[in-house]
Amino acid sequence: MAEQTIAAPRIRERRRDPGRGAARRFARRRWTAALAVVLLASILFVALTAMRPAFDAYGWLVWGRQALHWDLNTNAAPSWKPLPYIFTVPFALFGHYQMWLWMV
């Protein structure tokens, strides 16, 4: 067998497109702006319609507050669900703003 060295193919260096970073920043800003618009619209909707939670949601808010204070009483309340509980316990840290956080 003959010893022969094979030349490796040349790889062209990739140039960075200066417009590409700007496009990413614009896309990121667009998502941030869209999120801000949706949040503002939901706050306005809740404020203008004077919307309040229904029986089940209000019961979950009470459970979140009670769980935060280590005094959970499940008597005369709706059925327990884990997903609302994940939100209502941290929302209970905000006191009477808990209901507003839930509605938004």
Q: Would you state the pLDDT for residue 49? A: 86
Angle at 68 between CA 66 and CA 73, to 5 degrees: 25
C-alpha–C-alpha distance, residues 94 and 104, integer Å: 14
pLDDT tens figures, 67-90: 888 887 777 777 777 788 888 888
pTM for the model: 0.52
Q: Which residues contact 96 (CB under 8 A, 6 or more apart)?
A: none
98 — pLDDT class (breaks 50, 70, 90): confident
Tell me the per-residue pLDDT of 5-44, one tens digit each, with 9 for 90 and over.
888 888 887 766 666 666 677 667 888 889 999 989 988 8
Helix residue spans in the chain (DSSP H) = 18-49, 55-68, 82-91, 98-103
Q: Predicted confidence band at 64 (pLDDT cuts at 50, 70, 90)?
A: confident
Sequence letter at residue 77 = A
Comparison of pLDDT for 69 and 55, the residue scoring more: 69
- Domain limits, the chain: 19-51, 52-104
- The neighbour count for residue 5, using CB atoms within 10 Å, is 5
